[in-house]
Amino acid sequence: MKKLFYGDNLDVLRKFVRDETVDLCYIDPPFNSKRNYNCICNNNGKLIDIIELSNSFWRFLNETVSKV
């Protein structure tokens, strides 16, 4: 199952992940900074938030993997 969760790591783990089902959990610092890291990226003059950018990446990756 391929899933990407966006949010506070403890909230996501508690709400969406069953016990003893995780093979790898990657959590990127900084932790407890109280800052909003939902950045806006510029794509040829079009503003895209990081969630849409990651969704686009996953669509691209799924199409690429299916052709390999």
pTM for this model (two decimals): 0.34
pLDDT per residue over 2-13, tens digit each? Answer: 777 777 777 888
3-state secondary structure labels for all residues of 18-59:
CCCCCCCCCCCCCCCCCCCCCCEEEECCEEEEHHHHHHHHHH
Q: Report if residue 4 sits inside a domain.
A: no
Residue 63 maps to a domain: yes
Give the position of tokens 């992940």: 17
DSSP for residue 5: -
Residue 28 tokens read as 């990127």
Tell me how many domains the chain contains.
1
pLDDT for the residue numbered 39: 60
**Residue 49 is part of which domain span?**
9-67
Low-confidence ranges of the chain (pLDDT < 50): none
Classify residue 19: in a domain, yes or no.
Answer: yes
HSE of 10, CA atoms in CB hemisphere, 13 A: 2
